[in-house]
Chain A
Amino acid sequence: MEFKDFSLFLNHTKVKRFVDDLASGKIMGTVCKKCGLKLYPPRADCPDCYSTEIEWVELKAQGKLATFTMIYVPPDHFTTILQMPFSKFRFDPCPIGLLELENGLRIMGWIPKVNPKELKVGMSLKAEPQMLPGGKVTIVLNSV
């Protein structure tokens, strides 16, 4: 379930351009034109000074892994049911994590390519958009 499947949430919001930018390869955040507050995820409204004058900026999406997990018991919409009697399968979930940028903002993403055994808080990674089969776009954290 990727961002474009959540069009109900994003396409009818004031930050809908985020998805199109993501599809074109950019991870965007917002900066309040009045007080300078930087935000990711992006927002159309500044919670600090209440300005609605917002500038979109591309994030320099390199940083350090702040934390991560692997979800072995997934929510319903990701669940696969094995129909074969007396059989088991081993589920190896793709890790997800939070990448902390130099400016303190954090980006959530899948970590599909790093060996889970080598994942460590503090390691350097970069966040990148990635197209999935079916034209969905998501964010991945890859080695620098």
Chain B
Amino acid sequence: MRKVAIVGIGHGKFGVRSDASQRELVFEAVKDCMNDAGITIKEVDSMVTGICSDHFSFALQPSAMVHDYIGFLPKGNFRTEGACATGSMAVRTGWMTVASGLADVVLVVGVEKMTEVPTSVATEIMGKGGDATWEYPFGTTFPGYYAMIAQAHMARYGTTEEQLARVAVKNHFYGMKNPYAHMQKDVTLEMALSSAYVAYPLKLFDCSLITDGAAAIVLASEQKAKAISNKPVWMVGLGLGTDTMVIGERKDLTSLRGSVYAARQAYEMAGLTPDDIDVATVHDCFTIAEIVAYEDLGFSKKGEGGKLIEEKQTYADGKIPVNVDGGLKSKGHPVGATGVSMAVEIVKQLRGEAGPRQVKNAEIGLTHNVGGSGQVAAVHIYRRG
């Protein structure tokens, strides 16, 4: 297998983007990405597009709209899907395309335009991320699944609603420093704790946002990377795991088995341990998900994730900085774009270009992206060149 580096990153503004179509959002991110890499679209050999749901796109092949609109014809492009981990599936597929030698320079795009449907419809589309036959008839929603995970975690480990709220406070604190973030709003502990329930015990500020947005990266082989960039970031570990469709079938309701599996695989491939990670973006679709991620990724012991945030160890100057870009919580969660956006943030951190949210001397970064309520999980590890 060949070495693979990220040599370009691009990001559009996340938010309610009623000013732009899905393909126009992609164009913003791709243009930014080409500028960053210092290449033109003509120099890209192949492409992968992450778009999660046809129900948001109102199209059978939304990725075709994308490759047409960005002037990629007649070169190859196709779409990946892994629910909310769709973006990481695209990154992984891009990595495979370069590592295998099929192509030297690959563009990876992630996008979702979620706000064209009303919130109740978006809730329904996302709710079908669970088992449509066996759970959905009980009115389950996406927050509902994570609420059940939260309830189980609280019962077993004594995790509190206040610890959950502290995750929201941190991620909004950093989202205010990220110009691409959807909700750049200071959230206090009191605000978070007094917000209305969405799915008990999760409240409004425990939930990520329904967001429009796109992100893009360029991956290159070693030879091309050195020609294109003087600051390549190498993808040194990739892991992919899965878990049961029905959450009731899981042996442990307080952990995502797919995350644990993917993390072990990625650490092993990279020859690294959790202690080696300088900065991470993890899948905080809900605040409880970030706490469970601390534990599943080995940043804390099992059951001690709540304590980690309470001690502020996941702030930029803490033991393991997590989601200092605002996370899905404040930056927003356009499902197909999220995994690619996570990679963009880690590259910025490892290049030292993260501005007011920069983690000092970050050399090794990690992204953790979960689909559905854990049915698929991807962990990627990155190293400064």
Contact = CB atoms under 8 A, between A and B. Distances in A.
Nearest to B254: A67
Nearest to B245: A41
B124 A9 contact: no
Interface class of chain A by DSSP = mixed
A67 B120 contact: no
Interface string A94-130: 0111100000011111100000000001100000000
Given A70-B197, A76-B123, A6 B249 contact: no
A71 B253 contact: no
A16 to B, nearest CB: 11
Interface string B291-327: 0000000000000000000000000000000000000
Contact of B152 (A66, A72, A109): A66
A75 B248 contact: no
B120 A96 contact: no
A71 B199 contact: yes
Contacts of B202: 69
Contacts, number: 111
Given A9-B133, A67-B148, A73 B198 contact: yes
Interface residues of A, number: 39
A74 interface: yes
Contact of A71 (B120, B144, B151): B144
Nearest to A121: B155
A78 interface: yes
Interface string B145-169: 0011101100100000000000000
Interface of B: 118-121, 123-124, 127, 131-141, 143-144, 147-149, 151-152, 155, 196-202, 246-249, 253
Interface of A: 1-3, 5-6, 9-10, 13, 39-41, 66-79, 93, 95-98, 105-110, 121-122, 138
The 5 A-B residue pairs with the shortest CB-CB distance, nearest first, are A121-B155, A106-B248, A69-B147, A75-B124, A76-B124
